Amino acid sequence: MRSYRADVEAFENWCVENGINAPLPAAVETVCRFLEDQGASKAPSTVQRRLYAIRKVHRLLRLPDPTYDEDVNLAMRKVRRQKPIRPRQAKGLTRNYLESFLESEPDTPWGLRNRAMLSLGYELMTRRSELIALRNQDLTEREDETLRVLIRRSKADPFGSGRIAFTSQRTADLLKEWLAYRGPDIEWLFCPIYQRKAIDRCLETTTIRRVIKDAAQRCGLRADQVASFSGHSMRVGAAQDLLKRGFDTAAIMRAGGWKSVNVLARYLEKAEHNVWA
């Protein structure tokens, strides 16, 4: 929603700069000119999102929607043809990276939390937002002392139907060790630490990315390799590992909660090249 708001503001500012004093409701010609102008400097994915934002604001205001006009469709196709760009793919945090990253974490409260967080994020194949949203009640201990985890809400599941995932014994042990330090009075599974004391609020999504990049630096990876990791790397790497272990696409999609095979295919196409170097 923040992105949509910024995109609508970009459209309104563009209209003012181009002498269009009443941007809403937008004319088809105005939308086409805006898209083509944005396509000169922005990635096609950004232009597409701005088109969606214009569509959304017209719907919310109950205004006639110009974005389905064929001229708008042709303008968007022109933008894509002019600047064909493959989506940037985060480097997969595969099992070999995970082991090294976990070993690199210091014996501090932050290291305790980060080891549990990286191991759980890899095994559940979570997005950053899903990982930081986990709460105590989402975990259930099983008879074999592993954990059953309910991921309640995600980008592909906005209404919170949820999906179930399971941990290994090692990840369950890492979590129990972290929770023993964190204490029982904090609702969030992972939380900030201030002066070695756990704080009762959820982490920022940027914390996940920083933890991964810091671990990559400690392991002595090149600067370009460190830069290629992101908060999405655990999800990518786990999917690549499952493919190399012989699981089919349908099984990987179920495990990671993917709805689109096209998105998953981008993760898997580099699986055979994603080795420790």
Rounded CA gap, 235 and 135, in Å?
Answer: 20
Cα dihedral value 98, 104, 107, 110, nearest 10: -60
* Vertex 61: Cα angle to 58 and 66 (nearest 5): 20
Rounded CA gap, 40 and 212, in Å?
Answer: 34
For each of the domains in the chain, give its residue range(s) and CATH number, in order of start: 2-82 (1.10.150.130), 95-273 (1.10.443.10)
147-151 and 163-166 as β-strands: parallel, antiparallel, unpaired? antiparallel
Rounded CA gap, 70 and 54, in Å?
Answer: 16
Q: What is the mean pLDDT for each group of 10 consecutive residues in the chain (277 residues)?
A: 85 90 89 91 88 92 92 91 67 91 95 96 91 92 92 62 87 95 92 92 91 94 90 89 83 78 66 45
User: The tokens of 91 are what?
Assistant: 């480097």
What pLDDT does 276 receive?
Answer: 38
What pLDDT does 84 receive?
Answer: 59
What pLDDT does 277 receive?
Answer: 38
Task: Kindly provide the b/e burial profile for residues 83-107, where b requires at least 16 CB atoms within 10 angstroms of the residue's own CB.
Answer: eeeeeeebbbbbbebbebbbebbee
pTM of the model: 0.71
What pLDDT does 274 receive?
Answer: 45
